[in-house]
Amino acid sequence: MTTYRVVGPAAFRGHQAGEKFDAELDPEQEKRALARGSIKVVNRKPKDQEKEENDA
Amino acid sequence: MPKRVALKDSVEVDSVDLSNFARSVRLTSEHTREDVSGFSATGANEYLAGPTDQSLEVEFYGSYGTGEVHETLYPIHKDRTIVPIAWRPDQTTPASATNPELRGNVQLYTYGPGGTRGDVDTFPVTFNAADAAGLEFFTTPLP
């Protein structure tokens, strides 16, 4: 799961500018959104860490 | 179900909320009509519904800021990208039976912004359904 912040003027996936949200975006969609400045990555958990947390 | 004045529609392209940059939206969903008429006593034609062609036409205001209309649409057109689109009548409430949301994956074959001196800069954009799932109305919000 990755945490993003909406930085563009337009809302993204229902989240307003400035808001943070967690999602697993399609890699190509993430690339487009980052390129156009709609969102920024705030925190990306490595897959291993995510699996450990889910197993615990 | 009350009648409505279109004011609060939600239009999302590739998850970007472009509602405020759009002023009209129109779904077209059309099955071809296949003539399967044979000889008959009445001579009446008989038809079957054939393949379906679907598109969503949106009239956008020309806007060239970061993350706005041009920056969202032009790369999609240029790179022939298939992206998700969504439209529902009321952006202030989630999708429901009384606020159904049209969703699907689309491509942008034609992109034609422009301008006329003294006029508000608007242009129509037609999003064509791009895969077998087509454009469909959903009555529950996306997870």
CB contact under 8 A, B20 and A10: yes
pLDDT at residue B143, rounded to an integer: 76
Domain limits for position B21? 10-138
Residue A55 counted as domain residue:
no
Residues in chain B within 8 Å Cβ distance of A10: 16-18, 20-21, 67-68, 72
Sort B139 into a burial class: Cβ within 10 Å, 0-12 / 13-18 / 19+: exposed
Residues in chain B within 8 Å Cβ distance of A12: 15-17
Residue B134 counted as domain residue:
yes
> pLDDT in tens for each of the 56 residues of chain A?
899 999 978 999 989 999 999 999 999 999 999 998 899 999 987 766 666 666 66
pLDDT at residue A47, rounded to an integer: 66
> Residue B39 in contact with residue B70, Cβ under 8 Å?
no
Q: Domain count of chain A?
A: 1
Dump strand ranges (E) for chain B. 10-13, 16-17, 22-35, 47-61, 83-88, 101-107, 122-129, 136-138
pLDDT at residue B125, rounded to an integer: 98
Domain limits for position A6? 2-40
- pLDDT level of residue B142 (50, 70, 90 thresholds): confident
Q: Tell me the pTM.
A: 0.88
Q: How far apart are CA B7 and CA A22, in angstroms?
A: 30
CB contact under 8 A, A13 and B75: no
Residues in chain A within 8 Å Cβ distance of B20: 10
> Residue B67 in contact with residue A32, Cβ under 8 Å?
no
Mean pLDDT of B52-58: 98
Q: How far apart are CA B31 and CA B48, in angstroms?
A: 9
User: B92: domain CATH number?
Assistant: 2.40.30
Mean pLDDT of chain B: 96
Residue B2 counted as domain residue:
no
Helices (H), chain A: 27-35, 47-55
* Among chain B residues, CA nearest to A9: B67
Of the candidates A8, A14, A29, the beta carbon closest to that of B66 is on: A8
ipTM attached to this prediction? 0.79
Q: Domain count of chain B?
A: 1
Q: Is the pLDDT of residue B100 over 80?
A: yes
Residue A49 counted as domain residue:
no
Residue A10 counted as domain residue:
yes
Residue A51 counted as domain residue:
no
